[in-house]
Amino acid sequence: MLERIKAALQYFNQAVPFRLVPALITTAVLATLLLLPCPQGLTADGWRLVAIFLTTIVAIILKVMPIGVMAMMAIVIVSLSQVTSNSSKGAITDALSSFASPLIWLIVVAILISRGLKKTGLGNRIGLMFIALLGKRTVGIGYGLAVCELLLAPFTPSNTARGGGIVHPVMRSIATAFDSDPAKGTQGKVGTYLALVNYHANPITSAMFLTATAPNPLVVDFVAKASGQQLQLSWTTWALCMLLPGLLCLLLMPLVVYLLSPPQLKHTPDAVTFARSELAAMGPLAAKEKVMLGTFGLLLLLWANVPAMIFGPAWTLDPTVVAFVGLFVLIITGTINWDDVLSEKSAWDTLIWFGALVMLAEQLNKLGVIDWFSQGMKGAIASSGMGWQAIAAVLVLAFVFSHYLFASTTAHISAMLLAFLGVGVQLIPAEYMVPFLLMMTAGSAIMMTLTHYATGTSPIIFGSGYVTLGTWWRVGFVMCVLELLVFALVGSAWWKLLGLW
């Protein structure tokens, strides 16, 4: 009998499309939460939605199935349970409501645009150009990778596509050219250092631009809600606020990583030769690469609202409209085709999981859950007797370092950011509200530095084998603390100079 049970379990593990143990844990979490009594101050529907939301987050963290499937699970359960409406039609309308959000489509379309970088080879060309300019020393190559990240960030809202799909292949090509290969045990020559720089540039640039990573528009929405619409971060405002502290972090990061994980090869004059030979093999800038550059220039001008600055507010365009214009230009010029659009799985996957998580966050807010949680946290912090400076620090640090528990930046932001912002706005003096909100905004990207599962970019780079787990976590913790300090000290002074507080 025992053998039969074991054989049945083995067959089940092979046959079903989900991981059995994490699925059982997730189911137990849902059942336990539903059986618990409704906390005082919450409606029964609100508590049931909390159970659905937390179960979805647990399922994503445990990777029961791909995140898109877990998001669809949330849509199905919300629709069937009717926690948001008295009718099935109303429930499915609520469950699908976020898919009409321009913010979500901005991310989807921009991911489709970024496909042109890989298809035309422009991303590789940009990386190699900086290696040719800065590659005489290993640290110079590191700066080349960081600058490449910085240039691509405004146009690639998938930080995974940017760091893992565009910059990482360039980094691996350079490491291989120096015979730095994990398979040979020679990753320490230059590969470990370059892989760490490749990764740690990614969270910094993600913090610098609204369109640099998928959950940033959600952060904008939460900041506006928490501040009562007093702080609304446009593309330009975000970029300006994060400019100085972000650039300083990018300047320090390759040096700090160099000290924490020094490469065995310090001088790399052959890197310049390698990059120049690769550029020579690529030949002159192709027509489609020129179209990509022109499209990038157009997007940057429109996202930065330059026409409105020159011709007046009538020329202001919503960022999502601008993204669609850029995509249409690439399609009608043949730079990418419709099959490219249809086959870009990451874009459509993002549409599903991002839309579902946004929906859950919005419905939690509508049912009063966020306000209930914020009031409870406010009471606990207020009763502690801490000053407002300590309160601000605790909120920022607790939010950032709780990312050790998350394998998705979007899931973390959806679960916690609005509540933390709400508590801070209520307990921190009004004159200091803006620097607190901007620190939380920066922290929502900086927290990606911490682990090898923190965001989609990290498993790609970690999986290449150049960095051990211990080194990854050690460097990640140090970089996270350093970047928080830079934003707290330099950022606060910069925001004061800009007249924001």
| Residue range 445-458, pLDDT digits in tens | 999 999 888 888 88
- Highest-confidence segment of 193-202, 321-330, 458-467: 193-202
Residue 166: count other Cβ atoms within 10 Å of its Cβ.
Answer: 22
363: Cβ contacts below 8 Å, ≥ 6 apart:
49, 78, 83, 84, 94
Cβ(442)–Cβ(197) below 8 Å: no
Ramachandran angles phi, psi of 267, nearest 5°? -105, 130
Fill in the DSSP letter of residue 385: T
Can you tell me the distance from the alpha carbon of 205 to that of 213, in angstroms, rounded to the nearest whole number? 9
| pLDDT, tens only, 372-423 | 877 777 778 878 878 889 999 999 998 999 888 777 788 889 888 988 998 8
| pLDDT, tens only, 290-342 | 999 898 888 878 877 788 888 988 888 887 888 899 999 999 999 999 999 99
- Lowest-pLDDT range, 27-31, 124-128, 236-240? 124-128
Residue 366: count other Cβ atoms within 10 Å of its Cβ.
Answer: 13
pLDDT for 474 equals 95
pLDDT for 33 equals 93
Q: At 260, list the tokens.
A: 């924490």
pLDDT for 220 equals 94
- Lowest-pLDDT range, 167-181, 214-228, 481-495? 167-181
Can you tell me the distance from the alpha carbon of 90 to that of 95, in angstroms, rounded to the nearest whole number? 9
pLDDT for 411 equals 81
Fill in the DSSP letter of residue 450: S
CB hemisphere CA count around 300 (13 angstroms): 13
Mean pLDDT computed over 216-232: 91
pTM for the model stands at 0.75
Can you tell me the distance from the alpha carbon of 193 to that of 458, in angstroms, rounded to the nearest whole number? 15
Cβ(207)–Cβ(242) below 8 Å: yes
pLDDT for 12 equals 67
pLDDT for 43 equals 92
Can you tell me the distance from the alpha carbon of 344 to that of 112, in angstroms, rounded to the nearest whole number? 7
Of 113, 357, 143, which Cα lies nearest the Cα of 211?
Answer: 113
| pLDDT, tens only, 139-180 | 998 998 999 899 889 887 778 878 887 788 888 878 887 888
Give Rg (Cα) of the chain: 23
Per-residue b/e over 22-37, b at no fewer than 16 CB within 10 Å? beeebeebbeebeeee
Does the pLDDT value for residue 497 go beyond 90? yes
Q: Provide the 3-class DSSP secondary structure of residue 267.
A: strand
Percent of the chain with pLDDT over 70: 99
pLDDT for 13 equals 67
The mean predicted confidence, pLDDT, of the chain is 88
Does the pLDDT value for residue 222 go beyond 80? yes
Q: How confident is the model at residue 199 (pLDDT cuts 50, 70, 90)?
A: very high
| pLDDT, tens only, 61-72 | 787 888 788 889
Can you tell me the distance from the alpha carbon of 94 to that of 418, in angstroms, rounded to the nearest whole number? 20
Q: At 263, list the tokens.
A: 């490469």
Can you tell me the distance from the alpha carbon of 220 to that of 402, in angstroms, rounded to the nearest whole number? 20
Q: How confident is the model at residue 360 (pLDDT cuts 50, 70, 90)?
A: confident
Which contacts (CB < 8 Å, 24+ apart) does range 90-95 have?
94/359, 94/363, 95/356, 95/359
Of 420, 483, 491, which Cα lies nearest the Cα of 449?
Answer: 483
- Using the structure block, give the residue that is written with the tokens 């157009």: 298
Does the pLDDT value for residue 192 go beyond 90? yes
| Biggest distance spanned by C-alpha atoms of the chain | 80
| pLDDT, tens only, 5-60 | 777 767 766 776 777 788 889 999 999 999 999 998 889 999 999 999 889 888 87
CB hemisphere CA count around 46 (13 angstroms): 16
- In total, the chain counts a number of residues equal to 501
pLDDT for 447 equals 96
- Using the structure block, give the residue that is written with the tokens 């046959």: 15
Mean pLDDT computed over 180-196: 92
